[in-house]
Structure 1
């Protein structure tokens, strides 16, 4: 038997491994033949054929290693791309948070939103609304550049921190100021001043509130979480007077 197969450098890793397995079986067959050969007639030609196959096996191993190297390089390229997208996302968030007043229609709407005086807050019966968890389907529909390596559990843990912050904040706001401790009285005043007169029933907190009342991380992690909750319409942002209000979206609350 002679070896006539050509070495194909376009083989994938799986195909290369299959090729190696086939050649191994061929070598075993030759060795079985050699076991019954007479030295003076057949051994030398068979050893020559085995040598050819061994050379091909070595070449296939080289190709397999080359494929592995390329796969690692591709993974590194993907990692670099993800980092660039994350930086671009941060840059866009920064631009969005620093749009000059009056630059777009959204600012015109913001100018119509004015702080509410203390007497206007909770004039009507108030019911606290909190966020629903994301479902598997909602999480999978979030673009990969937003969620990256984050898992569904991470997002829902953030939602729990958000809800916990709302409960603590509005418990303070519903209390009688005279019965609060000094620290809570200061927070009471801050929360009242942040309320908006012409958006009755708006439920919101700020990043500072979440740092104060929950264990959520700040920085890029926080921005990514907020971006995902905005994408899934769990929250909406209202920017005014240097305050970014993270408000509960009515369609995603209970």
Structure 2
């Protein structure tokens, strides 16, 4: 379309130039100063029009180059989308069993109509998941992100709804962040303790922690509940790893964690064990 318009303009200007040439010949014969002035004006106008045409052509060329660049980027994007679509198809055909189990559990525990409202979203918290759901989630993470297996269950952080239900005489002036910070410290203690136990006697000897390993092993064999394995820590474990004691404030926060079903106390003789609730 732009080419046709330019061709039309060029034809018009050519006709005008022919008229100017004819007028010039007449002026030479008649020596009329009036005609000379008209020719000069027409030439100036023609020059201006030609300059505008040249500017328009440059602008069109610039736009054309930009369109070419956009076209190349669109081709690259289409190629990337095709590769991504191929990966998605491959992932859909090779879903790990752990993920399938997780979604099967969700479908069984979720609402029949398949819609989740805000109330259901609040109820779906780490504290409300069953052990089988926790296991399925861990399997999903391992399959997708190649995460190492956890050596022991860890404390899930408290939600605002759980924290609000803790009686004031237990929690006092402590904040949700303070309670979750203590839970995070406990998780580090549990990881260190059960990582050492997972090394075995020879591994602990090579690491130089054989005595600590034997102490942990003795505690572990003395604490039994049913047929499942118990994961716990003691006040001595806390002091050993954090270089601080479980004072009254921290003991109150442990009571808060117990009320939210994160911990349980097991007393054997004079020893008190804080067991992780799976």
Q: TM-score range by the shorter chain?
A: 0.3 to 0.5
- Give the structure-1-normalised TM-score: 0.46
Q: Greater Rg, structure 1 or structure 2?
A: 2
Query: Higher RCO, 1 or 2 (CA under 8 Å, sep at least 6)?
Result: 1
TM-score by structure 2 length?
A: 0.42
